[in-house]
Amino acid sequence: MSKESKKLIANNKKVFHDYFIEETYEAGIVLHGTEVKSLRMGKCSIKESFLRIENGEMWIYGMHISPYEKGNIFNKDPLRTRKLLLHRSEIMKLVGKVKEKGYTLVPIEVYFKDGKAKIEIGLAKGKKLYDKREDIAKKDMKREAEREFKQRF
């Protein structure tokens, strides 16, 4: 048994600032040849992307995969919508959750796992402004405590 290898390509740190992540799911991404090569070179961004469920299928919009330099005519549109691969039961569960008020689906990170491109999806609830301020205050307190600890020793 080989241990599972995970090579991070892109992550979306802003998600944790803007949302409370309730659950995470792993989904495959339907890609074309040159897109895979671009991903292997790390040319991907999910900062502006979002997810939708349409006709029982999950799609990601705004995921930018830069065109492969040597791909010429085989390159696809960098911002095209891409289908995500999840089990039907997972999609149906997410449909029910997203219909509840305040829930949304957000992409967290894109990575290769055992040679296959995967995306981690989070079922998220939006943070209010005071929640964000609270998180920033906690982070500042933690940073200050670490600084004092370092100075003492």
Q: What is the CATH number of the domain that holds 26?
A: 2.40.280.10
Q: What is the DSSP string of 85-102?
A: E--HHHHHHHHHHHHSTT
Q: Which domain holds residue 17?
A: 7-127
> Quick check: is 57 in a domain?
yes
pLDDT in tens, 62-95: 888 888 777 676 666 777 888 889 999 988 888 8
> Quick check: is 137 in a domain?
no
At 87 the pLDDT is: 92
pLDDT in tens, 17-67: 888 888 899 999 888 778 888 888 888 888 888 888 888 889 988 888 888
Other CB atoms within 10 Å distance of the CB of residue 3: 5
Taken in order 19, 83, 46, 7, the sign of the CA dihedral is positive
| pTM attached to this predicted model | 0.74
> Quick check: is 117 in a domain?
yes
CB of 46 closer than 8 Å to CB of 29: no
Other CB atoms within 10 Å distance of the CB of residue 110: 24
The domain tally of the chain equals 1
